[in-house]
Amino acid sequence: MEVNFLASESLGTRSMSTMVRSGRLNIVVDPGVALAPRRYGLPPHPIELKRMSEHWNRIKEAAIAADILVVTHYHYDHHNPHEPNIYRGKTVLVKHPTKKINLSQKRRAAFFFEQVRPLARVLEYSDGREFSFDNVTLKFSQPVFHGTSEKLGYVTELSISEGSCTLVFTSDVEGPSLEEQAEFILQEDPDIVICDGPVTYMLGYRYDYESLEKSLVYVSKIFHETKVKEFIFEHHLLRDLDWREKLKPLLLEAEDCGVKVVTAAEYMGLENELLEANRKNLWEKLRE
């Protein structure tokens, strides 16, 4: 199973877009990319805008080469309804557009379906379902909270299995901070986990300390109770420059369990470029 990160926070944009090559299948998960409209009271830096354009082009190229496209929910850093041609002739597996969904995502889903339904070869709801293609199994969780409540809607987690190898993609669980989010990962017993991580950059504001503690407990449980060897932290967590310090005890525990914890950039042998988290510094350098 080959994993290629198309866009992510450690690569410079808001995204979890990932291409997985398993057997003869190319699967692109969440083909979308975005930027924070404001961070530290500042708009995106020109470097961020350039990077987002580069990442979107990379996502489009990967999507054109893909057999299957997956959309775990309808936030714009996870899907882009404005260039629907990437879905033409593809098998498209998506979060249900009207069940277990908040109003904002329901509206976005309706527009997405208008654009994509005429183009896709197959368009299927994925919630709680399992699909098999050429000895590769894609299994989706039931919808779980995007975070710790239904305020931001629901997402589906995804497991991809081929032979004895399993990868789990958490989507936006913000942790995991809840039992049902963690339970899917534990049940799938993955070798590789791609996890969006806790929202530590909003700790004490939109994300509370209790949720962080629960997240640390659940990730520790995953380290101890599954066969995971590679755990990729991304997305929400990588918006925090101090994420390693805040998770230091957990990272030491990972070492004891023989689990390699890395970012998407590190997984691909690249340097981390946390452009959003460094936005203030980027603007200051531009003004010098």
Q: How confident is the model at residue 205 (pLDDT cuts 50, 70, 90)?
A: confident
**pTM (predicted TM-score):** 0.97
pLDDT at 288 over 80: no
Average pLDDT score, the chain: 97
| CATH code of 188's domain | 3.60.15.10
Output the six-digit token pair for 205: 């504001």
pLDDT at 217: 98
Beta-carbon contacts of 279 under 8 Å, excluding residues fewer than 6 positions away, are: 36, 39, 40, 42, 44, 45, 48
What CA–CA distance (Å, rounded) separates 264 from 97?
Answer: 29
Q: Which residue range(s) make up the domain with 134? A: 2-287
pLDDT at 186 over 80: yes
pLDDT at 287 over 90: no
**What is the number of domains present in the chain?**
1
Region 162-178: mean pLDDT is: 97
